[in-house]
Structure 1
Amino acid sequence: MTTQDAAANTAADRSPALFAITVFASAGLVFLVEPMIAKLVLPLLGGGPSIWNTSLAFFQVALLAGYGYAHLLQRVRSIRLQAGLHLAAMVLAALVLPLHVTGVFGAPSSEHPALWLLGVMTVSIGAPFAVLSATAPLAQAWHARTLHAATGTEPYALYAASNLGSLLALLAYPILVEPLATLHGQAVGWSLGYGAFVLLMAALMVFVTRAGGEATPVVVVAGDTVEAAPSWRDRLTWVVLAAIPSSLMMGVTTHLATDVASAPFLWVIPLALYLVTFIIAFSTKPAISEQTTLILQAAAVAACASILPFKASNLFLQLFIHLSAFFLTALMCHQALVARRPAPGHLTGFYLWMSFGGVVGGGFNAFLAPVIFNNVWEYPLILALACLVRPWGEGPVERWRWVTLALGCLAAAGAPLATMAAYSGEIGRAHLMGTTGHDLMLLLVKVCLAAAVVCAFLVRRRGIVFFGLIAIISLAAEGAGDKVDVLKSWRSFFGVVRQSELKLPEMGGTVRMLSHGTTLHGAQAQDPRWRCRPLVYYAPETPIGQVFTEVERRKPALRIGAVGLGTGAVGAYTRPGDRLTFFEIDPLVIRISSDPAHFSYTTTCAKGKIDYVVGDARLTLAKQPRDQFDILLIDAFSSDSVPAHLLTVEAMRGYLSRIKPDGVLILHLSNRNLDLRSPAMAVAYAAGGEALLQRHDAAKSSPMLWESSEDALIVARNAKALAPFAADPRWKPTEPVLVRPWTDDYTNLIGALYGRMKERWAWLP
């Protein structure tokens, strides 16, 4: 027996647990630092889905760098030398620790936010992230040269352990880490965890160097023939099969956040499902077989294609169908990827090309799609193209499948025709009078789409035929979707902005609205009688309107600041001599609201001087003179991607220092998913301010959009400034001790989410 054989037998006698623990720990650190660095950086850019997608694209590039480094390291024949080089790389990467956000790039850029974000994340976390990412392929390569060489144990199963660590860390962050630890504590804890991991990795290095320190790379033999290197066709297939799930993960996140329900932590669900597909696909005994996946994926994708434009459908049904279609499609691609994996001797190359595919898919969504599309078209496009991954079958297509395809196309074509009938002519007028013709036509739309879905499922075994019918169903559903009169749609790095109209006879005709994702950001009546009347959140009856009316009564000329522009409705409150500055992060919103062709609050209606400051509000407000504003409105929380850094004790102190001694600060706290009142009251008290709260309910007799129900907190530097409002019974004293105040070092969005749920469901403890 040779020395090398003895070393291999020694390795065979050892437990592979150390390999699994090491890749599990590295993956846990990687997926803890992703939301952690996001919390440090993303709030400065608004926290929208496009910003998270850009961050994911960065992490995928860093992952590719780590996999590329692991692949190149395999050119070194000696495991002992590999271990030494990798230990040196981990120590060098630790030089950027403790974890923090670099200041070398200055303040965030609203004109080129993606470049700023990529630069900051590269310098702040790029090196440790890449080195940690190299662990999975590196450990598997070492496994292949030690345990696999001796016993034939499958090294690819370690990738399932890696993704299990990723999944648990991802779920632990919002549930445990964020609520229980300060941001500083998280950064220090992660940095210490990195140090502990270096020791764990060193232990693995000792094991593998003893087991096969001078072993040559594993050579896989099939019979008497050495396993051939993967072809370029194989590599291209790996790239495509990895790119589709990566793109779909970002696409479904953006679609749900833009068109369905932009709830807090919504991005966690697609990413968690993405990791679960890896766990299943790379397991030695997959929980879901490939055949089962293909059956379920066909049903889910067909259903998803048929409901894509129907945004008014049941929320939970929408979430279930979209997430099911994404999960099963990603699983189908990853199972096809695993089925085409090479022999362990080419393992690191396989992971390198797989990672490159993830970068291609993520980069398309993060950087290219926002430029070439004015809506989230990348999601249905990739969802349909993914159907080409399905088996195409052999031989000519059976006649009955062609007949089924034709029937499916006819059924799909009937859906938009029925929709046109439902909203035009006599049936459309019948709808306005409350008769049933309209409802019958909409029922026909659903029947047509359901029939097309059934036909698609029947032809599922022919991938090319299935793809064609899914594409037709998607186009037909787009023409038959919810009939909202969207005049124009724009897309920027910060999200999708839509201008739509609604006919309201009680308001003299048409009302024009501006929405960002699923959140209404303002409305303006087109009737000249009401054109300059602020509507919804800013109506005179609302808390915001009350403050403007009261302060204008007491002062002849006002200096006003407003964080969050929307349609610019507060501009209608300005009088000659007043000056209003809007602080807005998205230049696109400024272009829309200041163009009279879209909205005229800041042009025709405003009587005072209007100007704009572009950038993150907290940073730009800090540059304003102290004691400047009579009214400062912070209206950045109605969206569900809450910039939590605008609602901390430090931020509140900054706001209070910018208002005059008798000035007032208004916080618009309405939010569908978060209870922001409790932390806002605590923050105002901790910052040394005096505060009053109003929970306004819109009058039931009010026309739609005339006013809105909302929560608002008014804060001042002293009680005297609030005296006129304290005398108004609509304003109530605050309860500042309900929750711990948020700071730059501590926020608790999970607690705010739970607080809102308690309001809705009284049975919660």
Structure 2
Amino acid sequence: MTQQTETIDPVSTHVVVGVTLALTILVSAYLLFQVQPLISKFILPWFGGSPAVWTTAMLFFQCLLFFGYSYAHLVSRFLSIRQQTLVHIALVMLAAYLATFVIPGEYFKPTGAESPIWQILLLLGACVGIPYFCLATTGPLIQYWFSHAYPGRSPYRLYSLSNFGSFLGLLSFPYLFEPFFELPQLGNYWTIGFWVFASFCIAAAFQMFQRHSWFSSADHDASSSAEGMQSELPNHWQRVGWVALPALASLTFIATTDRVSHDIAPEPRLWITTLSLYLLTFIICFDHERWYRRRLTAIVCILTILILTGAQDITERLGFEWDPGVTQVRWSHFLAMFLICFMCHGELVRLRPKSREHLTEFYLWMSFGGACGGLFVALVATNLFDEFYEWTLCLLSAIALGTYILASRPTSTLQVIQNKKADQVRRFLFGAGALLAAGVVCFWLDPFQWRQRSSPEFEEAYLHRSRNFYGTVAVKERVHRTDPSQSYRVFYSGQVNHGVQFTHLDKRALPVSYHSRESGVGETLEYAKSKYLEIRVAIVGLGIGTLATYARESDHYDFYEINPEVIQIANQWFDNVPRCKARTQETILGDARLKLEQAPEDVQYDVIVLDAFSGGSVPIHLLTTEAFEIYHRHLKQNGFIVINITNRYLNLYPVVRRQAEHLGMRFRNKFQSGEPGRLIRSNHYFIMTDDPEYLSSFPSINPRYFDDNGNLIREVDPNISHVPLWTDHFSSINPIEIRN
């Protein structure tokens, strides 16, 4: 053994092994987080473009990460280094073979009748399960091998390197690869990248297998000495922190992504931004403790939460009108999320174990906490909450954690927990401050609608609130105090008004909100009725069924709606659909694009109305080239495709104009100003048709803005020339954001 040891150059061996381990962990992390947006975006059109696709995918990836860390913990605990390398080489080879099938085939496409959550989980498991599991095991296992190869050195720098690789993987997807390559191509490149990782990983495992005897003999004394100085048995409080802190960070990350996606658009770049910021907190905190200033972070975090939740309320009380645009909404939420995650991960680093014997256990509990955050949103919050209460829960928990940090003595968290002689006065003052801050946040956010918001003219009350995979819905009734004919009900999808109906019998049949007779859709339907004795109409997005009021006894109306809660609300709390005069009408449950794709070729419509974009969140998969080719296939000659492009955050005009030009169809757009007295909201429609008479009779009207006296201030050309054609494999909301 001595002779063998002398033939080995310790310096060169350490350098080679160290470089190989670092490259392995860097490439694995890069692939780990590049495949998440890749496959999530690929399956997004299959499940209605819902933001919950990303939430469910994150649940899958976080749970698989936990299983990967469990594997690393078990093999490091019960197998020798040589046994670990042999087992892991077998796993890597199996995963490298299965990585060939990362892009799902058409046979995985749902029919529309399945449970979306379980369908997504099964699909991801079949396509990317084993390769992702293999990548997930690499981080903790490589760090454990590093601690054997380099005893006395901290392996946590490798964890920071791992998160840096993940950060690069996320950012390179939307900015380096996605604009230039189709998703199937990216899938092939990812497979090649996995084979590169497999080569590095097998080389690292072989080196550990070959050099294990040298490491164990040469470094045993140093290892024993280092661990003897740093042996610190974790207690129950530490393990609670290992779970609770990453759970809060994960919950905040997912809740922020969910909230912003529902209010703006389920666009992968939003997902990548939040995940990148989440990873950035890992990179900074695990690189070195000096980057985390716990008291300063706690103060800034609490102040940011108070400003975020109260800014709009405060400006209104001061007499200012501030309607935040898409940029302000996104980055105010992103900043709060970053600070909360930074605080959680900074505290987590303070609780990390010193000994390598507890290294994999630490990562196991940490990944379990991360998975708990995803499980809470996908399985608990979605089924039990009727609103996004988890966002409020995150803010309140962050205030509690920040207050605890400020109230603690300037010692380690572990000592604070165990200190029985803390200053009671200081704790009382900070505790009272925390309760006050939490009360202010609850007052401003008003998650349970406790505050009285009725105006002098109306009394308001919620009749219905619910939540499912597709988001939150609610019905509110506004009863006029003096004139019952002005009373009405409103349907909300998330925070956005998606339909209004008068409750008075004489006004109940009036089409209002975005669907008045002077609107683009009203003009088009009335024109089609005047030209044809009977028409067949497809309406994508049921809402409260306002467009059903345009039907005649001779017409045929098909309503496509993906959310079963909306169908129930339209029939229970509103009566547009039950009173529809159409000779035949059908409400088709499922994603409209998928259902139209499955429909026979002889299903032809005079008018197809896309009414799923008004207000906030935009199902992008309904606006791609592939989607419009499906609509065009089911459109009669000289028929109409009417798109409600009303949106407070995004200018959708250039997107649909590119689709019309791609199809070779002519078009017009119609903007209508709001009339609050008639409950008509400002609306903007884009109409594609080849009917020359219609186009000559109804010229385009661009968005117009008037002063209080009715004088025209300006007219806006909605076109943006550099917006590219949207496809299933490329779409970006960045060029069409409306910045206030």
Measured against the shorter chain, the TM-score band is 0.7 to 0.9
Out of 20, 23, 45, which is 1:21 matched to? 23
Does 2:277 align with 1:273?
yes
What does 1:303-702 align with in structure 2 at a 5 Å threshold?
Answer: 303-304=307-308, 315=324, 322-342=333-353, 343-389=355-401, 390-391=404-405, 393=408, 395=421, 397-399=423-425, 402=428, 459=430, 464-477=431-444, 478=446, 483=453, 485=460, 487=462, 488-501=464-477, 508-595=485-572, 598-604=573-579, 606-627=581-602, 628-638=604-614, 640-687=616-663, 689-694=664-669, 696-699=670-673
Contact 1:221 1:227 (C-alpha < 8 Å) held by counterparts: no
Name whichever of 702-711 and 618-627 sits farther off. Answer: 702-711
- Which one of the candidate residues 726, 731, 735 is aligned to 1:742? 726
Post-superposition offset of 1:713:
2.8
Give the deviation of 1:574 after TM superposition.
0.8
Counterpart mapping for 1:12-91 below 5 A: 12-14=14-16, 16-75=18-77, 77-91=79-93
- 2:721 pairs with 1:754: no
In the other structure, the counterpart of 2:135 is: 132
Distance 1:678 1:213, change over 3 A: farther
Which secondary structure does the structure 1 equivalent of 2:697 belong to?
A: coil
Q: CA deviation at 1:159?
A: 1.0
Deviation at 1:10?
A: 4.5
| 1:15-65 Cα distance to aligned partner (Å, 9 max, x none) | 844433332222221221111111111232233333322211111011112
Aligned 8 A contact 1:80 1:213 in 2: no
Q: Which moved more, 1:629-638 or 1:613-622?
A: 629-638
Q: CA deviation at 1:588?
A: 0.5
1:252 aligns with 2:256: yes
Q: Does the 8 Å contact 1:560/1:630 carry over to 2?
A: yes
- Any conservation in 2 of the 1:220–1:345 contact (CA below 8 Å)? no
Letter matched to residue 473 of structure 1:
V
Following superposition, the deviation at residue 260 of structure 1 comes to 8.4
Please give the alpha-carbon distance, in whole angstroms, between the structure 2 residues aligned to 1:191 and 1:13: 29
Q: 1:368: how far off?
A: 0.4
Question: Greater CA deviation, 42-51 or 578-587?
Answer: 42-51
**Mean CA deviation greater in 220-229 or 722-731:** 220-229
Aligned partners of 2:667 and 2:298: how far apart in 1? Answer: 58
Secondary structure of residue in 2 paired with 1:528: coil
Q: Is the 8 A contact 1:264 1:640 kept in 2?
A: no
Task: Please report how far the alpha carbon of residue 262 of structure 1 lies from its aligned counterpart in structure 2 after TM superposition.
Answer: 7.8
Give the aligned partner of residue 416 of structure 1. none
The superposition leaves residues 169-190 of structure 1 with CA deviations (integer Å, 9 ceiling, x where unpaired) of 2233233322221122221221
Structure 1: where are the runs of 5+ without partners?
A: 406-458
Per-residue CA deviation, residues 667-700 of structure 1 (Å, 9 max, x unaligned), is 333344444433433334444x523121x22246
Task: Report if the CA contact (8 A) 2:267-2:620 is conserved.
Answer: no
The answer on whether the counterparts of 1:239 and 1:354 sit within 8 Å (CA) in structure 2 is yes
Structure 2 contact 264–618 (Cα < 8 Å) conserved = no
Change (3 A) 1:754 1:740: closer
Alpha-carbon distance, 1:283 to partner: 0.8
Residues in 2 aligned to 1:710 and 1:380: alpha-carbon distance in whole angstroms: 33
Q: Is the 8 A contact 2:642 2:685 kept in 1?
A: no
* Residue in structure 2 matched with residue 415 of structure 1 by the alignment: none
Distance 1:223 1:575 in 2: 83
Change (3 A) 1:673 1:202: farther
Is 1:712 the equivalent of 2:712?
no
Could you tell me how far apart the structure 2 residues matched to 1:223 and 1:66 are? 26
Aligned-partner Cα distance in 2 for 1:749–1:261: 10
Change in CA separation of 1:295 and 1:20 when aligned onto 2, cut-off 3 Å: farther
Q: For residues 305 and 675 of structure 1, what CA distance do their matches in structure 2 show?
A: 26
1:234 paired with 2:233, answer: no
CA positional deviation for 1:388: 4.6
Q: Is the 8 A contact 2:536 2:556 kept in 1?
A: yes
In the superposition, the TM-score normalised over structure 1's length comes to 0.81
Alpha carbons of structure 1 residues 736 and 475: separation in structure 2 relative to 1, 3 Å: closer
Larger CA deviation: 612-621 vs 304-313:
304-313
- Asked if structure 2 preserves the Cα contact closer than 8 Å seen for 1:685 and 1:691, the reply is yes
* Cα distance, 1:44–1:278 mapped onto 2, change above 3 Å: same
- Please give the per-residue CA displacement for 1:385-429, whole angstroms capped at 9, x wherever unaligned: 344543454536554775xx5xxxxxxxxxxxxxxxxxxxxxxxx
Q: 1:475-523 deviations in whole A, cap 9, x for unaligned?
A: 4442786937462322111001122355789995133222222333222
Distance 2:214 2:75 in 1: 14
Question: Unaligned 5+ residue runs, structure 2?
Answer: 317-321, 409-418, 455-459, 703-717
Alpha carbons of structure 1 residues 300 and 702: separation in structure 2 relative to 1, 3 Å: closer
Rate the CA distance shift 1:230–1:669 in 2: closer, same or farther, 3 A: same
| Structure 1 residue 358, shift from structure 2 partner | 0.6
Aligned twin of 1:456: none
- Equivalent AA in structure 1 for residue 587 of structure 2: Y
Cα distance in 2, alignment partners of residues 122 and 169 from structure 1: 21
Q: Percent identity?
A: 30
In the TM superposition, residue 140 of structure 1 has moved relative to its aligned partner by 0.9
The answer to whether the 8 A contact 2:262-2:616 is kept is: no
Q: Which residue of 1 aligns with 2:707?
A: none
Distance 1:4 1:230 in 2: 36
1:24 and 1:308, CA in 2 relative to 1: closer, same or farther beyond 3 A? farther
Instruction: Please report how far the alpha carbon of residue 736 of structure 1 lies from its aligned counterpart in structure 2 after TM superposition.
Output: 12
Further displaced range: 75-84 or 500-509: 500-509
Q: Is the 8 A contact 1:77 1:214 kept in 2?
A: no
What is the CA deviation profile of residues 93-124 of structure 1, one whole-angstrom value per residue up to 9, with x for unaligned ones? 23332421255655154662111111111111
RMSD across aligned C-alpha pairs, in angstroms? 3.5
Could you tell me how far apart the structure 2 residues matched to 1:327 and 1:482 are? 33
When the two structures are superposed, what TM-score results if normalisation uses the length of structure 2? 0.83
